[in-house]
Amino acid sequence: MTTAAQPVARSGGRNVPTDTMGRPLTEPCILFLIVLALVTLGVLLVYSASRTADAADTTRYFPKQAYFALAGLGVFILGAIVPYHRLNRWWVAIGVLVLAVGLLVLVLFIGSGRGGARRFLNLPLGLHFQPSELAKFAVVIFLAWFYGRSKARARNFVRSFLPAIFVIGGVCWLIVKEDFGTAALVGAVAVILCLIAGWRWWFPTLILAPAAVGAYVTVWLVPYRLDRLKVWLDPWEYFTGAGWHVCQSLMALGSGGLTGVGLGAGIQKLYIPDNATDFIFAVLCEEMGILGGIMVIGLFGVFVWRAGKIVRSAPDRFAFLLASGILLVIGLQAIMNIGVVTSALPAKGIGLPLVSYGGSSLVMMCFAAGLLASIARRRDAQAAGIRPLVHVPARRG
């Protein structure tokens, strides 16, 4: 309990977050608080948004989401306790990837979902599993392992670019059929991660040609995706059709005003399809106002800041890549989701991390955030020169 005497290296005159006893909060603690805030808000909003089409069943999503939230927080702690470098094994990285790919293939055949898109695997107890959520992190873990090896030669075309692009392309191709948004996210995250790992700058240009063809095929040949682009330019033109989601979402932003109509009191939310999943940010903005929206954006900002610190001080190459990947997945997905809801980006089905309804996403995101905490713990332990698994206030750097 020698908090005051703890040397706070490098943070010198800066304000360091402290707990009630004056000790500086450890990185896992801060991450846990951010995750807790977002998940709690998510459960409340999901409850509020549950009053949708079926008036007889106003708590359709709430109990499930509450259990998912508890499970998610548990998984966060699990991820934080388990040393992340246990994942840095060839059989773990490849195993997770193969599992994800296998489930993605499976979902193409026996998947279920609304509106013709097959995104879920049915599990017992009325649960559904969305393999694309696993796939996001499977790709990140695989790439982190692949480029984290000591004999990895990232600048080599044959030994780096080809295997990586094979994996990325394969996973994206499996996802894109049912879920364009997630595929784009995975592709973007993976390519940025590869660049971080040391790809030559011109490697990504080689993908442009096939990606253009792929974009043509998926955007122009699937009619509703082209519509979505047109709708993005002027949603009101397509009010009763493809623009319905976005227009209703914008009206929700407008009805909320500065401080919102109050949690649970929204009416416009009833007009938004998928208001518990992809458009939960609109519910937030109606009920808590623009300020509530900015608050959540701020929480993601804090997350990006703290995760960025972990990336900066990651104790090894695998941790560095893993942390970058997790930061990119959560950060970019939040940006894409909020961009769609505010009509800044064309519509695509992608949830708000940690907030939207959905067990697979919530648990995976929590686990990923837990891994970040695990990295921070090892870093702090190394810095203190003490073995991990013992709580030691951090010496940063």
Partner 1 sequence: MTPEPCQRRVAAVLTVGLALLLAALAGFLVYIYAASSDALAARASRQQHMYIPIRPMRGNIVDAKLRILAGSQAIRSVFADPKVVEDVAEAATRVAPVLGLDRDEVYRTLAEASDKRFVWLKRRVPNETADAIRRLKLRGVSLATEGVRHYPNGSLAAHVFGFVGVDEQGLEGLERLFDARLRGRPGKAYVLADCRRRPIWMEPDDFTPAQDGQHLVLTIDAVIQAAAERAIAEAVRKYRAASATAIVMDPTTGAIWAMANVPTYDPARYGEFSADARRNRAVTDMFPPGSSAKPFTAAAAAEAGVVRFGEVIYCENGYWPAANLHDAGHAYGNLTFEQGIQKSSNIMMGKIGTRFGNRRLRDALVAFGFGRKTGVWLPGEAPGLVFPLARWTRLSTTRVPFGQEYMVTPLQLITAFAAFANGGRIMRPKILRGVLDNRGRVAVDLTEPQVVGRAMSEKTAREMLDRALVGVIESGTGKRCRIPGYRVFGKTGTAQKIDPDTKRISHTLYVGVFLAGVPAASPRMVVLVLVNEPDKSLGYYGGTVAAPAAKQILQQTLTYLGIPPSEPASGRRETYLAGQTVRH
What is the contact surface with partner 1 in residues (CB under 8 A)? Answer: 53, 55, 196, 250-255, 257-258, 267-268, 270-271, 285, 290, 293-294, 297-298, 300-301, 304-305, 307-309, 311-317, 320, 324, 327-328, 331-332, 334-335, 338-339, 342, 344, 397
Kind and range of the H or E element at 122?
Answer: strand 121-122
- Do 38 and 354 meet the contact criterion of CB atoms below 8 Å apart? yes
How would you class 347 by CB atoms within 10 Å of its CB: exposed for 0-12, middle for 13-18, buried for 19 or more? buried
Comparing CB distances to partner 1, the nearer of 173 and 239 is 239
DSSP track, 191-231: HHHHHHHT--TTHHHHHHHHHHHHHIIIIISSHHHHHHHHH
* Least distance CB 86 / partner 1 (angstroms): 18
* Least distance CB 54 / partner 1 (angstroms): 9
Comparing CB distances to partner 1, the nearer of 41 and 103 is 41
Q: Which residues contact 2 (CB under 8 A, 6 or more apart)?
A: none
Q: Which residues contact 41 (CB under 8 A, 6 or more apart)?
A: 284, 296, 355
Comparing CB distances to partner 1, the nearer of 64 and 245 is 245
Amino acid 257 reads G
d(CA 240, CA 61): 27
Comparing CB distances to partner 1, the nearer of 103 and 322 is 322
d(CA 354, CA 364): 9
Helices 359-384/317-341 angle, 10° precision: 140
* Least distance CB 263 / partner 1 (angstroms): 17
* Least distance CB 172 / partner 1 (angstroms): 21
Comparing CB distances to partner 1, the nearer of 44 and 311 is 311
Comparing CB distances to partner 1, the nearer of 53 and 125 is 53
Comparing CB distances to partner 1, the nearer of 157 and 305 is 305
Which token pair is 396? 């940063």
* Least distance CB 359 / partner 1 (angstroms): 26
* Least distance CB 203 / partner 1 (angstroms): 16
**Nearest CA-CA partner of 46 in 34, 60, 35:** 60
* Least distance CB 313 / partner 1 (angstroms): 7
